[in-house]
Structure 1
Amino acid sequence: MVAQILGTYGGKVEDITIGDVLATWQVSTRNGGHTIRRAYRWLRDAGQFPADAPVTLRHIIVRSGQVGPAELVDRYQLRCRGVRDLIVDYLTERQLSLDYSSLRQLSTHLAGYFWADLERHNPGIDSLNLPKEVAEGWKERIGTKIVRRGQAGGTTSQGREPRAYAPVIKTSVRAFYLDLAQWALDEPHRWGSWAVPCPIRETECSVKRLERQQKVKSDQRTRERLPVLPALVRTASRRLKEARTRLDALSNASLGSSFTALGEDFTTPKSTRRSDGRPATAYDAEGRRRDLRAEEKIAFWGWATIEILRHTGLRIEELRELSHHSIIRYNLPTTGEVVPLLQIAPSKTDQERLILVSPELADVLSTVVSRVRGADGSVPSVHSYDIHEKVWNAPMPLLCQWEIEGERYQISENTIRKALNEALAASGLTDAEGAPLKFQPHDFRRILITDVILNGMPPHIAQVIAGHGNINTTMGYNSVYPSDAIEAHRAFIARRRSVRPPEEYRAVTPEEWREFLGHFERRKLSLGSCGRAYGADCIHEHACVRCPVLIVDFPEVPRLIEIRDNLRERIAEAEREGWFGDVEGLSVSLAAAEEKIAQLDARRAQKDSPVFLGIPSFKEAAGRISAVASPTHT
């Protein structure tokens, strides 16, 4: 490719510029686009380009980066120059207090939905002081949107439906008017001429109805998906095993040969461009070309996504930001016990949080780490692009990464959603109307919060785990929690804050910190460890066999089997003697014991399967070790 650039533009290698590479890329995307990317990386590593040149060609050709308020407003080609400049100045003033995503949204509301719409329907308008009929016409239009639907015969129909987020747009416009009026008092020479009555009343901006509608939809989604989550988990695990089996069979086959995997017949191609000489694709019995390596990748990340999200309740952007450094361990100073933690970087909020890593989550994380390790045993650092803020982040050893054509990339949101959708399609799950069931990554977050509250976790502990700034947000995620309990808890919090002295809201004392550490020291039980969150009461009154947060260790399986057998004998005795109250209570304990044994058998089967990629110890998997943990993280 370097020779092609020289042949096209002349000169020597030292004369090649970034513009030459971009021009060559434009004509070679369809044939050899990956080659030009490798050539760019080779030239940059050789010092041919300036030191501040983008790391890869992808930094230039794929992502546009941030633009200023003027460029955001000019997307809508406003004809009135005065109002255009006013909106640009207003956004410039607000820019310091907003993130880029919010700034873009605000520019869309003011320049797109508001003023551009007014100019289309009122040619020549040049004042914010809107006549009543103009304002009412705009509010009527913004309250609905045009929807086009396909019809039989290839035709389409067009209609209008209510716009769900119309109150949000009205709120932005109302804030625009009120800010101008307030700023006119401080700087009349700059803003005074634009201070006019606001055409939108406060009551028109109410989002209570929208919030109620969203709550009803979210509750229905959670109730419909919570019972079928185990089936989806089993399907994702099965698909990974099958994809791995097909890939192993392909790796053992030679070029131009045939092989059979899981009852399917495949034929390998006669040649390959791979450097290792091994085929990546094969033709099935119907002659379709299938990329078995890509299928295994998608199956793996579908499984990993489902497992991590259901155990942590992460947002999808937080999942993509997980790095090797996120896995930390904390050594209890008194016992030396290692407490594995997962550090979540802030996404929507500015507060980091720590999540206790369960054995199941540890299995998944260690498997992911083993997969993305480089040849030197470390997790490679890759650049990531923040699609909301439109900026490139510094290289980090991200867990959600893979290699494409010799380059390491962060896995995109679309790829994660594709992997999840393929697992759903394979599960055959349907909704109440018989249509294929759809999952969004955020559904796992709602399911986790609902499940932990149903199992007795106090709402304020669930709030910390979810990383919500307000407990009302956490309760909004919970789908079936009794309303009287919600109101009682809110009243308790309000009452406590009003009567307790302000001295209580202070730094943690050494005694309180020792009490916190003592919680982890008391986790060890005869059957394993207690996973109850700090500050949470034991909901089963120390009947640990029944408790869902009991983490049973493999060495304690014989003891658990002995307890199960004893429970069966006691149930039989109670039935003979007519102690039916005891029969009911013992049956609950027996069901819980059998469920835990089944879970341990499933974990052991996963470890012993050929798909299992190995579990390094936390000493190997942890990106860093925290000798002293901050109490605010817990």
Structure 2
Amino acid sequence: MTTTAKHSTRRQLQTANATTEQARARNNVLRERFPPRSAEARWPATAQSADEVLRRLTAPPFLPAANATRAGRRRGVAKLLRWLSSFPGDTWQQRWEAGRAEEIRGADWTDLPLRFLRQSGPSPSYERGDLTSGLLMLVCGDVIRPDLAWMLTRTHKHLALVMAEVRDLDGFARLAQLAESGPDSARGEATIAATRIAMLLACKGGAIADITVGDCVELVDTLRRVHVRGGQRKVDFYLRLRALGVFPEDAPATIRAFGLAAGRLSIEELVDRYPIRCRPVRDLIVDYLRERQPSLDYTSLDAVSRTLAGLFWTRVEALSPGIDSLRLPPALARAWKTDIATKKRTTIGPDGTPVEVASPRLNAKDELIRVRAFYLDIAHWAAEDPARWAPWVVPCPISDEEISKAKERKHRKARMDQRTRERLPVLPVLADAVDRRRRASAELLAAAEHTRPGELIPDTAGALRRAVAPKAAGHLTWAEETSTGRRRNLTYEETEAFWAFAAIEVLRLTGIRNEELLELTHHSITEYRLPGTGEVVPLLQIAPSKTDSERLVLVSPELADVLSTIIRRLRGSGRAVPLVTSYDVHERVWNPPMPLLFQRDIGTEHRAFTPTALRKLLINALSATSLTDAGGEPIVFSPHDFRRIFVTDAIMNGLPPHIAQVICGHKSLDTTMGYKAIYPAETIEAHRAFIARRRATRPSDEYRTPTEEEWDAFLAHFEKRKVSIGTCARAFSSPCVHEHACIRCSLLRPDPTQRGRLEEIRDNLVARIAEAEHEGWLGEVEGLRVSLAGAEDKLAQIDALSERQSAAVHLGMPGFSRSGRTDGTLRPMS
């Protein structure tokens, strides 16, 4: 089994300003709505005298049970107050800042007060520990409020415990109750979250109820600057505070909305990303984008703004400073087109110096099309509103010939057809490989979970042992390779293998787009009752995506198996599919919580899969199969490849193209036929052959009442479908293409009761192949192997049918409860 690294290294940000500016550029709208609390210059506790501070911090609730701890804290407070008194200031906070202890990272800050105390008198050996305890009391007593970044450089083993005792007993008690209601494996995350929350109280003051959303955002920004790694533990505290009801109702469901995904910019902000000197042209581009905004999603609007403001006018001004008209001289137009035909990037050469590298811009014609549309739209709008647009009407510097993409479309169609032809034959191999990988990883994880740490894992031939990982998260199971000592996260491997299997199966069985896959919810599974027979047909409702029109896809038995497996996994021990928020990468907005089918657990958070995560699943699944193309290179599947394969396979197996168009949700039949890997000549010849066959077999009187002989022949066809090992699904009045060699025929539906007979046939074929190879009858070997493959395929079909029937789960219809979560109760359809 191929494994991959779970984490990638993050570049550490150097300055706080870089972090803040970078984050604000991502989602400044939310940050303005939820600002952090500003730092106070003065508060009552920090303005007390030394005697008042010492008296308050040595009285309840600041008195621990242990006498030694109590004495150490009293000594530490007294020594720190004596050291801080040597600095100027009206408050202890001013004296703390003047002491410059925060310029020293970690625990070495105690060197400053130690040097002062040693100059004042003898220095006991336990003085450094006293100072640490004294600082804990000053912080929890709200005498000083250290800088957040400095606090993150130190360990705080007792901070949450002491803060709960002296600052907010009820708040931390509710936090502890929330942790106890969660899984035991999340206790480590709960401890870290409590420390993060206590740190906010130490640096911002107040109680847990006073913490704001902006405070949490400031802490996460500082965490990303100070700590390179940390994963989900960096943001888990926000989820717990939100669960306690500390934040307002309109607070984002996840703190990732503030920094990990870009928010929307206004049209003015989109244009002002580029240094346009001519203000009238800048305003024109803003007006043009605002006019087109209702018909574009945010991503398209962003792309048009990048083209017009960045690649077009900013570069025109660089080539011709001071230009203030859209009328470009021919020489300037040619220079601009030459300039955007290539893109430049700066890399570091072998000697460490920056090197500028130029490469062709693959989408140069797309950029020209947007600029030409800019000119033509203004000319068209000038007829309706001349006062606004007519002053800018000028000849377009881009001709139709320059944006013609007929040749590119033909080349692209040829590349896509070749790509589909290469991947269609290996799709069954891929599906079988990911299924075996899923089962193997699940069995390995189950075996490891029942193995004590340090012992060898059964059925691994001594290659793996259960790793001893006391600091690992409780819900993770680690193994260690005995030969190399490399550690493997078996929980992550099993999760990745399962979701790779689920994604590939749903994509290949439905032909939906990748964004439609990620938007499938528990409510997408619906049903339709046939009016004639009353039979219930399961359907999958596809949410509107590219064409803004929803559609229904028939759920096959194989697809039903996959969907039921996904739902059982998501439900776990409960009856509801968790609600998760997802980010719409096209509209740059966060969707409301929904019971998405493609979600995963990261720490204590249920998180929706992203397009990047989906691509990573496919890459890792393919690396485990070792599939290669004709040139020996590894085959790469994109999510859209499965859509093209689905259309090609469906039409080649007789599905009418207009039905395939409806299933795939295409607006045009030409789009559907463009997905099929065929040539135009093949389409024409197939259509002519179809017309010839129709004329020969369906005369003009085809709608007459059949005779008794014709009707008997039709009924006899179904009686003759029964063969020795199953049922023949050959169409009426069609010949047997395999000359009654049923074992090879894909139309044979094997009977599970004939498994013994099929095993005898398989064993006989194996013996005949061995005899033929021994006697040198090589002419018979190839044909016998084809028959053997057919027999094994029929046995596999019987096994899959038996497994599906034995593992069938009645999911019912998802309904709505008052809590907004879904359950599996069956509700009548209106």
Q: TM-score range by the shorter chain?
A: 0.7 to 0.9
| Counterpart Cα distance in 2 of 1:488 and 1:120 | 56
- The verdict on how the C-alpha distance between 1:125 and 1:401 changes in structure 2, with shifts beyond 3 A counting, is same
Matches for 1:473-488 after TM superposition, within 5 Å: 473-480=671-678, 483-485=681-683
SS in structure 1 of the partner of residue 612 of structure 2: helix
| Counterpart Cα distance in 1 of 2:757 and 2:330 | 76
| Counterpart Cα distance in 1 of 2:743 and 2:673 | 26
Q: Contact 1:366–1:616 at 8 Å: present in 2 too?
A: yes
Q: Contact 2:814–2:827 at 8 Å: present in 1 too?
A: no
Q: Contact 2:729–2:749 at 8 Å: present in 1 too?
A: no
Higher relative contact order (CA 8 A, sep 6+): 1
SS in structure 1 of the partner of residue 382 of structure 2: helix
Instruction: Summarize deviations over 1:366-409 as a string: whole Å, max 9, x none.
Output: 11111111432121111111111111112111110011111101
Asked if 1:60 is matched to 2:255, the reply is no
- For 2:320, the aligned partner's letter is N
Matches for 1:375-390 after TM superposition, within 5 Å: 375-390=573-588
| Counterpart Cα distance in 2 of 1:391 and 1:125 | 38
- For 1:183, the aligned partner's letter is W
Aligned match for 2:810, one of 612, 617, 631: 617
The offset of 1:531, in angstroms, is 11
Aligned match for 1:119, one of 310, 314, 317: 317
Number of equivalenced pairs: 570
Matches for 1:406-425 after TM superposition, within 5 Å: 406-425=604-623
Asked if 1:282 is matched to 2:479, the reply is yes
Aligned match for 2:561, one of 359, 363, 380: 363
- The verdict on how the C-alpha distance between 1:206 and 1:488 changes in structure 2, with shifts beyond 3 A counting, is farther
Between Structure 1 and Structure 2, which shows a larger proportion of strand residues?
1
Residue 373 of structure 1 is matched in structure 2 by 571
- The verdict on how the C-alpha distance between 1:254 and 1:596 changes in structure 2, with shifts beyond 3 A counting, is closer
Matches for 1:146-295 after TM superposition, within 5 Å: 146=344, 161-263=359-461, 264-272=463-471, 274-275=473-474, 280-285=477-482, 286-295=484-493
Residue 217 of structure 2 is matched in structure 1 by 22
| Counterpart Cα distance in 2 of 1:125 and 1:538 | 75
- For 2:449, the aligned partner's letter is S
- For 1:616, the aligned partner's letter is V
Matches for 1:551-590 after TM superposition, within 5 Å: 552=749
Instruction: Summarize deviations over 1:290-309 as a string: whole Å, max 9, x none.
Output: 11100111111111111111
Asked if 1:12 is matched to 2:207, the reply is yes
Q: Contact 2:464–2:479 at 8 Å: present in 1 too?
A: no
Q: Contact 1:475–1:486 at 8 Å: present in 2 too?
A: no
| Counterpart Cα distance in 2 of 1:287 and 1:59 | 39
Q: Contact 1:468–1:474 at 8 Å: present in 2 too?
A: yes
| Counterpart Cα distance in 2 of 1:145 and 1:9 | 48
SS in structure 1 of the partner of residue 552 of structure 2: strand
- The verdict on how the C-alpha distance between 1:484 and 1:381 changes in structure 2, with shifts beyond 3 A counting, is same
The offset of 1:423, in angstroms, is 1.5
Residue 589 of structure 2 is matched in structure 1 by 391
| Counterpart Cα distance in 1 of 2:443 and 2:280 | 66
Residue 579 of structure 1 is matched in structure 2 by none
Asked if 1:343 is matched to 2:541, the reply is yes
The offset of 1:558, in angstroms, is 6.5
- The verdict on how the C-alpha distance between 1:374 and 1:267 changes in structure 2, with shifts beyond 3 A counting, is closer
- For 2:812, the aligned partner's letter is K
- The verdict on how the C-alpha distance between 1:230 and 1:406 changes in structure 2, with shifts beyond 3 A counting, is same
- The verdict on how the C-alpha distance between 1:152 and 1:25 changes in structure 2, with shifts beyond 3 A counting, is closer
Residue 449 of structure 1 is matched in structure 2 by 647
Choose 545-554 or 283-292, whichever is displaced more: 545-554
Q: Contact 1:331–1:626 at 8 Å: present in 2 too?
A: no
The offset of 1:220, in angstroms, is 1.2
- For 2:492, the aligned partner's letter is A
Matches for 1:510-521 after TM superposition, within 5 Å: none
Residue 145 of structure 2 is matched in structure 1 by none
Task: Give the TM-score taking structure 2 as reference length.
Answer: 0.62
Aligned match for 2:245, one of 22, 29, 47: 47
SS in structure 2 of the partner of residue 59 of structure 1: helix
Q: Contact 2:619–2:636 at 8 Å: present in 1 too?
A: yes
Q: CA RMSD in A?
A: 4.0
Aligned match for 1:320, one of 514, 518, 527: 518
Residue 426 of structure 1 is matched in structure 2 by 624
Q: Calculate percent identity across the aligned residue pairs.
A: 46
| Counterpart Cα distance in 1 of 2:267 and 2:478 | 48
SS in structure 2 of the partner of residue 14 of structure 1: helix
| Counterpart Cα distance in 1 of 2:728 and 2:577 | 32
SS in structure 2 of the partner of residue 237 of structure 1: helix
- For 2:638, the aligned partner's letter is Q
The offset of 1:267, in angstroms, is 3.7
| Counterpart Cα distance in 2 of 1:257 and 1:161 | 55
Choose 437-446 or 329-338, whichever is displaced more: 329-338
Q: Contact 2:579–2:594 at 8 Å: present in 1 too?
A: yes
- The verdict on how the C-alpha distance between 1:79 and 1:550 changes in structure 2, with shifts beyond 3 A counting, is farther
The offset of 1:147, in angstroms, is 7.7
The offset of 1:34, in angstroms, is 3.8
- For 1:280, the aligned partner's letter is T
- The verdict on how the C-alpha distance between 1:464 and 1:135 changes in structure 2, with shifts beyond 3 A counting, is same
For structure 2, list consecutive stretches of 5 or more residues without a partner in the other structure: 1-195, 692-717, 766-783, 816-823
SS in structure 1 of the partner of residue 526 of structure 2: strand
Residue 463 of structure 1 is matched in structure 2 by 661
Choose 115-124 or 78-87, whichever is displaced more: 115-124
- The verdict on how the C-alpha distance between 1:124 and 1:294 changes in structure 2, with shifts beyond 3 A counting, is same
The offset of 1:270, in angstroms, is 4.8
The offset of 1:461, in angstroms, is 1.4
- For 1:341, the aligned partner's letter is L
Choose 592-601 or 78-87, whichever is displaced more: 592-601
For structure 1, list consecutive stretches of 5 or more residues without a partner in the other structure: 494-521, 569-586, 630-634
The offset of 1:59, in angstroms, is 2.2
SS in structure 2 of the partner of residue 342 of structure 1: strand
- For 1:433, the aligned partner's letter is G
| Counterpart Cα distance in 2 of 1:320 and 1:149 | 36
- For 1:269, the aligned partner's letter is V
Residue 140 of structure 1 is matched in structure 2 by 338
Residue 352 of structure 1 is matched in structure 2 by 550
Give the greater-gyration-radius structure (CA). 2
Task: Give the TM-score taking structure 1 as reference length.
Answer: 0.80
Instruction: Summarize deviations over 1:100-150 as a string: whole Å, max 9, x none.
Output: 122112112211221122122222222111001011122223334448899
Q: Contact 2:241–2:247 at 8 Å: present in 1 too?
A: yes
The offset of 1:451, in angstroms, is 1.1
The offset of 1:152, in angstroms, is 9.4
- The verdict on how the C-alpha distance between 1:184 and 1:626 changes in structure 2, with shifts beyond 3 A counting, is farther
The offset of 1:161, in angstroms, is 4.9
The offset of 1:155, in angstroms, is 10
The offset of 1:272, in angstroms, is 4.7
SS in structure 2 of the partner of residue 135 of structure 1: helix
- The verdict on how the C-alpha distance between 1:211 and 1:147 changes in structure 2, with shifts beyond 3 A counting, is farther
- For 1:408, the aligned partner's letter is H
| Counterpart Cα distance in 1 of 2:733 and 2:541 | 27
| Counterpart Cα distance in 2 of 1:220 and 1:66 | 39
- For 1:282, the aligned partner's letter is A
Q: Contact 1:314–1:466 at 8 Å: present in 2 too?
A: yes
Residue 37 of structure 1 is matched in structure 2 by 235
- The verdict on how the C-alpha distance between 1:450 and 1:130 changes in structure 2, with shifts beyond 3 A counting, is same
Q: Contact 1:328–1:625 at 8 Å: present in 2 too?
A: no
